[in-house]
Structure 1
Amino acid sequence: MSELSDSINLISLITNASLLVQIVMGILLLASIICWVLIFRLSARLGTAKRQDQHFENWFWSGEDLAKLYQGIQNSPDRHGLANIFYVGFSEFLRMNKKRQPKDHIIDGVERKLRVGLGRQQQSLESGLGVLASIGSVSPYIGLFGTVWGIMNAFIGLSEASQVSLSAVAPGIAEALIATAMGLFAAIPAVLAYNHFTGKAAGIYDSRALFCDEMTGMLQRETHETATSTQDDPAVAAQNVQSPLV
């Protein structure tokens, strides 16, 4: 019965708060909802990206011919992560190799394309982290603003009261503390989630960057073989390039 009474009192404090404090609470509630939506989305996105990258690496290092691997990815309309990075880099390798570009130019072009592909994939992967960082850094200050405003109203009401008592100032201080609590409620999960997902995204980036280095080294070893192949069909030219494990 006491808990029910406390809940009713809390709701009453929120509904009876000044308009500005209610606006602050509404902003903080919206920020908290956005925070949790981003947390679930980032968790699903990063988990999916890690599984897809692992699946592609297992495929890549299985010893299968790179021509079949390239064709399989080329026919897939939905390319993400390492698969798309490989596709972009290997397409540039075939294009420059077909034009009989010098070996160093071919490798430099592939490296540039791999960096671009890696950057774009990482940018897509980290989408939403900036919003989490903003919520985590700004929410406490928004709550503090509501706190200051509520305390100001409490003391103004106290100065106008004919009789000074705790009951006259308590509601204003209570609504001020609610604003502070809501600011922390929005900020703490946002900061924790930002640190967690930033670490996971960095780990995925490092793994992809290592793959790009390995792929560049492998293509550098194979360049002298593919440089002699001038085919009209890039997929046919790719048949001269074997997997590093072959």
Structure 2
Amino acid sequence: MQSLFKTRLTVGIAAMVAPCSAFAATAEALLPRNLSPWGMFVSADIVVKAVMIGLAIASLVTWTVWLAKTIELNRKSALARRRMRTLESNIAIADASGQTGGANDAVARLIQSTAIEAELSGGIHDDGLPERVALRLERVEAAMSRQIARGTGVLATIGATAPFVGLFGTVWGIMNSFIGISESQTTSLAVVAPGIAEALLATALGLVAAIPAVVIYNQLVRGIANYRALLGDASAQLLLLVSRQRDVRDFRLARAAE
């Protein structure tokens, strides 16, 4: 009788331990090797992986645009300031045009545009000349502003869309996690946590891509605004030079293009 009781007790303990062992094995099988960012990326669904790769590329584009536009803005702003110092020395437009030569920077093009209008006017310094010069300068300023702003629109796009792309990856990953819960028929946190962590990594990458893009975009917008102000100052200085040369009867603009 006692041996029969011991046998039944052993069988009961084994029956209780077996489901626990099976569940532990299932949980162990569903867990990734590690929960580092790289480990979660490797274990993620193909759609979530694609989202993460896209966000990484967007982040790389953001920093590339920042480096390229910062160098461009600094170089062009420094050159514009040097040209402005030359114009502020009350130099004749013809001499300024000769110094710029074949240069293609913004202030040089403003000077050359002024000289071209003077040549087309035949050296006649009538009341309409400043207005015609101002119209030409406005067109050059607009063209140079579009040129310096080229490439910044992608930063605004990344800053606006990256969080939503990351959220899409998170939603997709959580959907897969719920599917895994249904298939494993368990709600253990050990089974659910890895899939949710992988999904949330997509949102984190979306924020990593979006936040620098917004900050860099605002920084570049301020730099471009300062550059446009420099071009506006150069245009105003050119109009002043036209007016001064007209007043002293030393109108030499017609020889600027020779």
Superposition TM-score, scaled by structure 2 size = 0.80
- Residue 70 of structure 2 corresponds to 43
Shift of 1:182: 0.6
The AA in structure 2 aligned to 1:90 is A
Partner Cα distance (1:222, 1:230) in 2:
9
Equivalent of residue 67 in structure 1, options 94, 108, 111? 94
Partner Cα distance (2:240, 2:36) in 1:
68
Shift of 1:15: 1.1
- Residue 79 of structure 2 corresponds to 52
- Residue 30 of structure 1 corresponds to 57
Equivalent of residue 200 in structure 2, options 171, 177, 180? 177
In structure 2, relative to structure 1, the CA distance for the partners of 1:151 and 1:14 (3 Å cut) is same
In structure 2, relative to structure 1, the CA distance for the partners of 1:192 and 1:7 (3 Å cut) is farther
CA deviation profile, 1:113-153 (whole Å, cap 9, x unmatched): 10111111111111111111111111111001101111111
In structure 2, relative to structure 1, the CA distance for the partners of 1:117 and 1:207 (3 Å cut) is same
- Residue 164 of structure 1 corresponds to 187
- Residue 241 of structure 1 corresponds to none
- Residue 110 of structure 2 corresponds to 85
- Residue 122 of structure 1 corresponds to 145
RMSD: 2.4
Unaligned runs of 5+ residues in structure 2 are 1-32
8 A Cα contact 2:97 2:256, kept in partner: no
Unaligned runs of 5+ residues in structure 1 are 1-5, 237-246
Shift of 1:215: 1.8
8 A Cα contact 2:93 2:256, kept in partner: no
In structure 2, relative to structure 1, the CA distance for the partners of 1:54 and 1:230 (3 Å cut) is closer
User: 1:81-230 to 2 correspondence within 5 Å?
Assistant: 81-98=106-123, 100=124, 103-223=126-246, 225=249
Shift of 1:203: 1.2
Shift of 1:207: 2.3
8 A Cα contact 1:93 1:107, kept in partner: no
- Residue 30 of structure 2 corresponds to none
Greater radius of gyration (CA): 2
In structure 2, relative to structure 1, the CA distance for the partners of 1:230 and 1:205 (3 Å cut) is closer
Shift of 1:18: 0.7
Superposition TM-score, scaled by structure 1 size = 0.83
Q: Percent identity?
A: 30
Equivalent of residue 20 in structure 1, options 23, 47, 62? 47
The AA in structure 1 aligned to 2:229 is D
8 A Cα contact 1:114 1:212, kept in partner: yes
Partner Cα distance (2:95, 2:133) in 1:
19
8 A Cα contact 1:97 1:226, kept in partner: no
